[in-house]
Amino acid sequence: MPDLTFDGDVIIVTGAGSGLGRAYALELARRGARVVVNDLGVDESGAAAASAGADATVAVIREAGGTAVPDPHSVAERDGGRAIVRTALEAFGRVDAVVHNAGFSRDNFFDQMTDEQIDSVLDVHLRGAFYVAQPAYAAMKQAGGGRIVLTASTAGLLGAPLMANYGAGKMGVVGLARSIAVEGAQYGIKANALSPGAATRRGDDSSAFRFANRPNPIDPATVPGREWLTPERVAPMVVLLTHRSCPVTGEILMARSGWFARAWVTASEGWIAGGGPIQAEDLLQHWDEIAGTGTEGTELPLDGPGWTVRFMNERIKPLLAEPAANQRS
Ligand SMILES: NC(=O)c1ccc[n+]([C@@H]2O[C@H](COP(=O)([O-])OP(=O)(O)OC[C@H]3O[C@@H](n4cnc5c(N)ncnc54)[C@H](O)[C@@H]3O)[C@@H](O)[C@H]2O)c1
């Protein structure tokens, strides 16, 4: 048996009928977790019924001697999120971890993106994260702790053409994970965002339009290393983030092709104006300090309000007594 075992911990994986979620569920179950396999069974644009959804993954887990129950509810609805957590509580009486992975994309040029394309994608990725994580958090809080993993994307962290809806939702879950991490620490709850990469059907077919229509088109067939771009090579990070020994909270992790890394939010040292009025021209004059070099800077810590108070004490307070240095004549 591997060292990182779950000893019957109950883990919900949304969108676990295919792709990354399926690989996560299989690996977690192999390590002794009792898994709630949620999936609606839709295609990569979230539209049509496309697969056996959760049942097929559950069958594989049970065949291998593991424990899992299927759940067919949609993460994109408030009641769906509640029902998914209820499935875990009714089947196993607890929730130790939740991985919100379900999702799809509906790409379009930014100026042509419809409300339907915006709403449906935000609903499944961002609101879905609230709908599933809130009831799970409540159960974890009562039980004394738990782990939450939300799925981000390079489309949000780095930006991507034709994916404004998706990128916004995916960056939204980063803020959500960091906020849950700060608030949940007192209850033993850890929350992280994971930006995965794998050649699944979603990372494949649905990207054809996006690859062809970007300002500098990409031919996916020419990108090397597809054989390493598997969901199984992402799953170890999910094992770590859902395990009781999870070493981090409030972080952004990246996993693809066997590459595992942490991304973080950094600010340049910046320029602080003295007292007195500040003009836009002052900023231009100090632009190099404001922009920074990109290689220096400070990682911004978890906890926005805490950082703000420290910043005011450490950076601004010492300047308060000084005469206005930046008065323009
Ligand atoms: N594949 C990649 O390279 C990649 C990159 C970045 C982020 N992601 C993210 O990883 C996650 C998994 O992606 P994937 O590539 O495995 O895609 P996938 O299409 O293979 O799997 C997504 C699953 O989510 C399910 N689903 C969709 N809407 C649902 C809903 N409302 N309720 C419940 N289930 C629903 C689908 O039925 C499907 O089985 C997604 O959040 C995706 O945005 C993937």
- The share of the chain scoring above pLDDT 90, in percent, equals 82
Which ligand 1 atom is the nearest neighbour of the CA of 75? Answer: 32
Is 204 in the same domain as 304?
no
Closest residue to atom 27 of ligand 1, CA basis: 103
Which ligand 1 atom is the nearest neighbour of the CA of 152? Answer: 7
Is 307 in the same domain as 246?
no
Range in 93-97, 135-139, 208-212, 223-227 with the lowest mean pLDDT: 208-212
Tens digit of pLDDT for each residue in 284-305? 999 999 999 878 888 999 999 9
Is 171 in the same domain as 277?
no
215 falls within a domain:
yes
Q: What is the CATH number of the domain that holds 137?
A: 3.40.50.720
- Helical H runs in the chain? 19-30, 54-63, 78-92, 115-122, 128-143, 154-157, 164-184, 201-204, 207-213, 235-242, 280-285, 287-291, 304-311
Tens digit of pLDDT for each residue in 151-181? 999 999 999 999 999 999 999 999 999 999 9
**Residue 151: φ, ψ to 5°:** -95, 115
Q: What is the DSSP string of 42-79?
A: B-TTS-SB-S-THHHHHHHHHHTT-EEEEE---TTSHH
8 pLDDT more than 80? yes
Alpha carbon of 208 to ligand 1 centroid (Å): 16
Q: What is the pLDDT of residue 323?
A: 66
Among 240, 263, 286, the domain-final residue is 263
